[in-house]
Structure 1
Amino acid sequence: MSQKRITLAHGSGGLAMHRLIEEVLLAAFADPELARLEDAAQLPSFPGKLALTTDAFVVDPIFFPGGDIGRLAVCGTVNDLAVAGAIPKYLSCALILEEGLPLADLKRLAESMKRAADLAGVRIVAGDTKVVPKGAADKVFITTCGVGEIPEGRALGAALIRPGDKILLTGPIGDHGAAILAARGELGISGPVASDCRPLNRLAAHLLAACPQGVRALRDPTRGGLAAVVNEWAWACGFCLRLFEAQLPIRAEVTGLCELLGIEPWHLACEGQFVAAVAPEVAEEALGALRAHPEGRQAAVVGEVSQAPAKTAILHTLFGGERLLDLPEGEPLPRIC
């Protein structure tokens, strides 16, 4: 392509748009179903239940340590399917591009999406592209839809959580939120923290294969972090979820950043970890299965479920006390995903 930046003509439906799709997107995604350029992908059915999810990504900046908005869009959608107990199969992708976006950036993002899709074992089979005038968006926004298969007999959900269950976490919390904060440069912060952005479907499948019975619920702690997950689970199951601060895996760099800014790591987003609620009789087996997998070596038991107080999340602090684990008020970290 002769142009170096996205223009309004790239969203007009004319020759410029067709060249953009063929030379950038089709070339990067390289999927035969997408290459048909029909209005709908034609996909084979499967015997299990259908899982469907949709998500939008507006992260700022679009490139950050450990990832970019393209990788994040694929991994975030795959992970939503994985924690529902589904085997991710197909993705669609809609791109909203701002006039003036460097074409090199779009190519880089498309190639990153393809690498993430290949890593997760999913296909990008449908898509759409729109261009808006400069100032009407911020570089690029991505909306994805994901389809997966839930095997027969598999059921996960927060309503299944019971007193005595254990809360497991696959690895350190807060890496993504901390990486985005540092990457923005507004606070003069720099450091070695990188986003944990990665697909979780292999690790989730490994856990569910090792413990086909006794895994109650899975959730990836994105916006609102771990605190949001345990609060939502407490409301859904009607019991009390307790976390133990001493058992939470948190990198020293993330802790230092949180102390500097007056925020708490359990409010920071993760994009490469999940939380699992498991029955007490399979907790040890589940933890062993996670730690035996290359992507779950830092897994830990971080909490438990009790009968009361109902619909409450509590943090047992390092100092031996306990306090309510509230959701953050307002939005301390806008546009993190």
Structure 2
Amino acid sequence: MSKSAGEYLSSGPRFAEAEVIERIESFRKRRPRLLDDHITLAHGAGGKASAALVDAVFLEAFRNPSLESLGDGAVLSLPGGERIAVSTDSFVVQPRRFPGGSIGELALNGTCNDVAMTGAVPSWVSAAFVIEEGFRIGELKDIVADMAAAATKADVQIVTGDTKVVPKGAADGLFITTTGAGVIAAGRRISAESVRAGDKVLLSGSMGDHGMAVMLARGDLAIEADIHSDTASVSPLVELLLAAAPSTRWLRDATRGGVGTVCNELAQACGCGVVLEEERLPVRPMVNGACELLGIDPLYVANEGKFVAVVAPEEADAGLTAMRSHPLGADAAHIGEIFPEPADTVVLRTGFGGTRIVDMLVGDPLPRIC
């Protein structure tokens, strides 16, 4: 039976129940308005500024039913009844090579993961390269080789693409845009509309590995840590989950803005509350230490091989066991639950018995990590 807001907040020692609920109400999310006159790095962070930009500029101009869901990819129905998923992403990560991966590997895996989050199996990828004049051919070959190796590992084909060269100074070396497509198995329905109170929130592995690996690879900080990006195609892990938990409601890979921002998107899309358990959130000690030194919450640090899943309560244990059976899901965890209240809000229950709001990311602590 689902608990009420009062039942799960009343354990908090710092505020009276009514005061806690009032504070939550004041934090309730509304779609942010675009108040800026110029683009800032925050508009690319995947948080409030990004949502405002998408709403006011792109959604306003391109509005249609397929786009309205604002998911990782569009789900399209073919005349014969089959459904396919299509997703596009651009990659501008700096540095282009980092512990655990490169921009080529990241571009392939990132787009495959967006397709997988719709319940589709990624099969085809298109790749477009914007190359700055003077870029070394040898480095380009290495990056393309990384991309080809990632495609082979993910069992997808790069079937078309484009190349543009711009003058020196018109781009920062190399940008890659990829589009992926795949077929959705009959009967699969992955959407926020299917999320219900009592559903369980699962995370496929540890948080923040990619963002911290890229941040430290830039060499601007006097921090040394053995942290590697988690970039990988998660499609095999998704298929294991869906086989064990066929009633899985919703999937989203936790890239820009991290798990905290993804859970806010979930709360706003389904109109429910998401309650996370701090002590269950998996974070590697090295990543946690680096975040503490930098004053960054791991909840907001990007991943490139992890996803959040909302599953039916009766299938949660089976789904978690299935994910943990695969190397990519060895650290998978049950991190929270869906509640009817407080609507549109994410609450973190801390290890000390209190609670705090997990708001959507506002600024951009780690620009150009993907």
The TM-score normalised by the length of structure 1 is 0.85
* 2:245 and 2:316 in contact (8 A); partners too: no
Q: Distance in 1 between matches of 2:136 and 2:240?
A: 40
Shift in Å, 1:316: 0.9
Match of 1:246 among 271, 276, 279: 279
Q: Which residue of 2 aligns with 1:105?
A: 139
1:181 aligns with 2:239: no
Q: Distance in 1 between matches of 2:156 and 2:90?
A: 18
Match of 2:129 among 95, 98, 114: 95
Q: Distance in 1 between matches of 2:369 and 2:80?
A: 35
Q: Provide the aligned C-alpha RMSD in A.
A: 1.2
Shift in Å, 1:95: 0.2
* 1:183 and 1:190 in contact (8 A); partners too: no
* 2:200 and 2:316 in contact (8 A); partners too: yes
1:288 aligns with 2:327: no
Question: In structure 2, the residue corresponding to 1:136 is in which secondary structure?
Answer: coil
Give % identity.
Answer: 52
Q: Which amino acid aligns with 1:164?
A: G
Q: Which residue of 1 aligns with 2:167?
A: 133
1:299 aligns with 2:325: no
Q: Which residue of 1 aligns with 2:154?
A: 120
Q: Which residue of 2 aligns with 1:165?
A: 199
Q: Which runs of 5 or more residues in structure 1 are unaligned? A: 1-44
Q: Which residue of 2 aligns with 1:61?
A: 95
Distance change in 2, residues 1:204/1:107 (3 Å): same
1:155-205 CA-partner distances (Å, limit 9, x unpaired): 101221111011001110000000011001112222100000000011101
* 2:272 and 2:344 in contact (8 A); partners too: yes
* 2:245 and 2:311 in contact (8 A); partners too: no
Match of 1:215 among 240, 248, 253: 248
Q: Which runs of 4+ in 1 moved over 3 A?
A: none
The TM-score normalised by the length of structure 2 is 0.77
1:319 aligns with 2:352: yes
Q: Distance in 2 between matches of 1:47 and 1:237?
A: 27
Q: Which amino acid aligns with 2:96?
A: I
Question: In structure 2, the residue corresponding to 1:283 is in which secondary structure?
Answer: helix
Q: Distance in 2 between matches of 1:316 and 1:159?
A: 25
Moved more, 318-327 or 87-96: 318-327
Shift in Å, 1:47: 6.7
Distance change in 2, residues 1:73/1:259 (3 Å): same
Q: Which amino acid aligns with 1:107?
A: K
Q: Distance in 1 between matches of 2:80 and 2:108?
A: 22
Question: In structure 2, the residue corresponding to 1:309 is in which secondary structure?
Answer: coil
Question: In structure 2, the residue corresponding to 1:147 is in which secondary structure?
Answer: strand
Q: Distance in 2 between matches of 1:107 and 1:227?
A: 36
Q: Which residue of 1 aligns with 2:266?
A: 233
Q: Which residue of 1 aligns with 2:233?
A: 199
Q: Which amino acid aligns with 1:318?
A: G
1:248-307 CA-partner distances (Å, limit 9, x unpaired): 110011111111111100100000111110011111111111112232121110000111
Q: Which residue of 1 aligns with 2:292?
A: 259
* 1:227 and 1:267 in contact (8 A); partners too: yes
1:74 aligns with 2:80: no
* 2:244 and 2:315 in contact (8 A); partners too: no
Q: Which runs of 5 or more residues in structure 2 are unaligned? A: 1-78
Q: Which amino acid aligns with 1:150?
A: I
Distance change in 2, residues 1:46/1:109 (3 Å): farther
Q: Which amino acid aligns with 2:123?
A: K
Question: In structure 2, the residue corresponding to 1:288 is in which secondary structure?
Answer: helix
Match of 2:181 among 139, 142, 147: 147
Q: Which amino acid aligns with 2:154?
A: A
User: After the TM superposition, which residues 20-35 of structure 1 pair with which residues of structure 2 at under 5 Å, given as runs?
Assistant: none
Shift in Å, 1:211: 2.0
Q: Which amino acid aligns with 1:177?
A: G
Shift in Å, 1:48: 2.8
Q: Distance in 2 between matches of 1:296 and 1:320?
A: 28
Q: Distance in 2 between matches of 1:169 and 1:86?
A: 19
Match of 1:268 among 277, 290, 301: 301
Q: Distance in 2 between matches of 1:129 and 1:52?
A: 21
